[in-house]
Amino acid sequence: MKVSIIIPVYNEEKTVQSVIDTVQEASFGFDGDREVIVIDDGSKDATPKLLAGRSDIRLVQMSHNQGKGAALKKGFELATGDILLIQDADLEYSPKDYPVLLEPIISGRADIVFGSRFRGDYQRVFYFWHQLGNNVLTLFSNLCTNLNLSDMETGYKVFRKEVIQTITPKLKSKRFGIEPELTARVARGRNADGKHWRIFEVPINYYGRTYEEGKKIGWRDGFAALAAIFYFNLIDRS
């Protein structure tokens, strides 16, 4: 069994080396091969130089900044693993949670796994308005998809290869709208037997960053995500 870990990166010179080191050392909870794909999305700091010096990753350098969605799509297209796992390039999400994220797929119970920041053992106390915004986005997403997720916007999403092969050609979001788009597409997706894909949600621990520490998402991204929820659930249902 091979796991492809896809890491979109943009201006993360302070954390990207530590993240990759931790990803390379993290246990899957089973013996499996590991493929680490890093997509540098046009970083303007020292990130490209740091990444170019590593021989333990598959590096893609985008010509200019296009957004998380575009970076993920490129990673999906290149991945060769049986399972694909999204890993953010900051230190908010811990690879120590890989065994919890992968187990439902390895055991044959799930096709997609979401890691919920709000059901773990602990989380750093962070912005009230961010959590409220996340709850609102998750609520509207659930209303449209008929799922009962607690954290649609989570950065930890894991997929069986067959799922990604089906949805990647349809992906259109270039920026943070990729989270609601992925959720909308897997919610109505079906396997080769015509049955809905099985979606699990598992608890993860979360150490959110402040803006001073490099957090990038703002209120404009929240409105864009809300628009993406309605667009990919009500208009683009391909």
pLDDT number for residue 176: 84
- Asked which of 57-61, 66-70, 129-133, 211-215 is least confident by mean pLDDT, the reply is 211-215
Element housing 159 (H / E): strand 157-160
pLDDT number for residue 125: 55
Write out pLDDT tens, residues 144-161: 999 999 999 999 999 999
pLDDT number for residue 221: 76
The answer to whether 180 touches 141, Cβ cutoff 8 Å, is: yes
pLDDT number for residue 10: 96
Map residue 232 onto helix, strand or coil.
helix
Write out pLDDT tens, residues 13-52: 999 999 999 999 999 999 999 999 999 999 999 999 999 9
> Phi/psi zone of residue 42: left (φ > 0), alpha (ψ -120 to 50 degrees), beta?
left
The stretch 83-103 carries a mean pLDDT of 95
Q: How many domains does the chain have?
A: 1
By residue range, what is the domain housing residue 93?
2-235
CATH number at residue 104: 3.90.550.10
Mean pLDDT of the chain: 92
The stretch 99-120 carries a mean pLDDT of 94
Confidence tier at 217 by pLDDT (50, 70, 90): low
Using the predicted structure, report yes or no on whether residue 216 has a pLDDT greater than 60: no
pLDDT number for residue 223: 87
Write out pLDDT tens, residues 62-85: 999 999 999 999 999 999 999 999
User: HSE-up of 189 (CA within 13 Å, CB side)?
Assistant: 25
pLDDT number for residue 214: 47
Using the predicted structure, report yes or no on whether residue 1 has a pLDDT greater than 90: yes
Residues 6 or more apart whose Cβ sits within 8 Å of residue 220:
none
The stretch 100-110 carries a mean pLDDT of 98
Percent of the chain's residues with pLDDT above 90: 80
pLDDT number for residue 222: 80
Using the predicted structure, report yes or no on whether residue 178 has a pLDDT greater than 90: yes
pLDDT number for residue 131: 80
* DSSP-derived secondary structure letter, 209: P
